[in-house]
Structure 1
Amino acid sequence: MHVLESLLAYDSLSQQDVSRVFGIDPNVLVGLLDDLEALGCAECRCNPHDRRRHVFHVSPPVSRWLRRAPDC
């Protein structure tokens, strides 16, 4: 949930950026991001400013759900 909330809050974060936000190795993060993608919770897209890099976004249905979810 925290990863999704961070992706939503910061919008268009690279794998490197996400790893910095959470303070974990980017190689460790790959598995988590792959799982979120497989579940349809996040999407990996080409960075429009640098095609060698990818950015992660929360999928639109999950984004709507997170925006409506009450704070815990």
Structure 2
Amino acid sequence: MPAQPNILLVLSDDHGQWSLGCYGNSVVRTPNMDFIGSSGVRFDNAFTPCPVCSPARASLFTGRIPSQHGVHDFL
């Protein structure tokens, strides 16, 4: 039986790819995130169903869009 995958999901507010060294930012130092990005999977083309953090997270955790799960604003 194959080993279970080791998954690390990192969520943060207003933290776009522009703010990580592994995506080319030479000003901000992010060595730990750079290491995780270089040794795992990076998503170079990802989108959110909503630009507000709470509805976007609720969508991630439920698999539904905001009009279906009912979270429409900050919690």
Same fold (TM over 0.5): no
Radius of gyration: which is bigger? 2
Query: Which of the pair has the greater relative contact order for Cα pairs under 8 Å at 6+ separation?
Result: 1
